Structure 1
Amino acid sequence: MEHVPILKIGDVLLVSIQVDLQDQTVLALQEDLADRIVAAGAHGVIIDITAVDIVDSFIGRMFATIAAMSRLMDAETVVVGMRPAVAITLVELGLSLGGVRTALDLEEGMRLLGAGAAAAVAGAP
């Protein structure tokens, strides 16, 4: 089973999904992410699904579960890079992903979490 890497950028955790999502991979990600949110004191989670072509109802529900779990630990979740076909599939499956904010790309996701402004200030001359 492959593990999905979780990177820390300031107080945001970035989950970049570059593998085919199997049920066990998603369950492992949920556990790993919960541990990392606590360990890092993260206030935001960005899940980049740009490379994801297909989702099923289990994986869609897991995104909603991850967002709910993150909220309980005071971290907001943003899903970025959703392809139109994935969005259509989620709607057809009746999954609303309640509590999950979405953005077109990573930069917009960081801005939604307020991390973009902090990074811009830190990088200013």
Structure 2
Amino acid sequence: MTGATAPPPDGFVPVLRLGGILLVTLQGDLYDSTAERLRQDIGRTVSDDAVTGVVIDLSGVEIVDSFMGRVLSDIAAMTRLLAAQTVVAGMRPAVAITLVELGLTLPGLRTALSTEEAMNLLGAEVAHLPRTAGARRERP
């Protein structure tokens, strides 16, 4: 056994709650049905669980289409109406160029270069741990 974990099932989008902030990590291509389910799930979670911010990490996304651009815009508008903020983090230059070429400038959507910066924009404290904090020590 190599210790590797199995990849998540198709259509699975990891969502992690960090205090009052949801961290949504998008990887690769996203099916339209998955994007729609994600939009609904985020809205329900923000409403039911008093979430104050949503970070959508796009660093694992290489290509977007007009539907995904609209989903991002809709999530930002929906969370704003529910008194939460959305920040998109880690957008690649090619993704930004594609959105502009599609005419989707996503007004009102805040962006950050990294997830850490996005968390800071939402007022979350991000702890900086030394690199050796999780390292195993060799036994003599």
Please, what TM-score do these two structures have when normalized by structure 2?
Answer: 0.80
Q: Which has the higher contact order (CA 8 A, sep 6+)?
A: 1
The CA distance in 2 between the partners of 1:14 and 1:30, in whole Å, is 13
Aligned residue pairs total: 118
Matches within 5 A, 1:65-84: 65-84=74-93
Task: Give 1:101 shift.
Answer: 0.3
Unpaired runs of 5+ residues, structure 1, are: 121-125
- Amino acid aligned to 1:5: P
Whether 2:78 is the aligned partner of 1:54: answer no
Q: Which has the larger radius of gyration?
A: 2
The CA distance in 1 between the partners of 2:112 and 2:73, in whole Å, is 15
Matches within 5 A, 1:19-98: 19-98=28-107
Task: Give 1:19 shift.
Answer: 4.0
The CA distance in 2 between the partners of 1:34 and 1:22, in whole Å, is 19
Unpaired runs of 5+ residues, structure 2, are: 1-9, 128-140
The CA distance in 2 between the partners of 1:112 and 1:20, in whole Å, is 27
The CA distance in 2 between the partners of 1:52 and 1:39, in whole Å, is 28
The runs of at least 4 consecutive aligned structure 1 residues that moved more than 4 Å come to none
Please, what TM-score do these two structures have when normalized by structure 1?
Answer: 0.89
Q: Is the 8 A contact 2:52 2:85 kept in 1?
A: yes
SS at match of 2:36: helix
15-24 vs 65-74, which moves further:
15-24
- Higher share in helix: 1
The CA distance in 1 between the partners of 2:67 and 2:94, in whole Å, is 17
SS at match of 2:22: strand
SS at match of 2:27: coil
Q: Is the 8 A contact 1:4 1:19 kept in 2?
A: no
How large is the Cα RMSD of the aligned pairs? 1.2
1:9 to 3, 8, 18: 18
Using the aligned pairs only, state the percent identity: 55
The CA distance in 1 between the partners of 2:116 and 2:104, in whole Å, is 25
Task: Give 1:64 shift.
Answer: 0.3
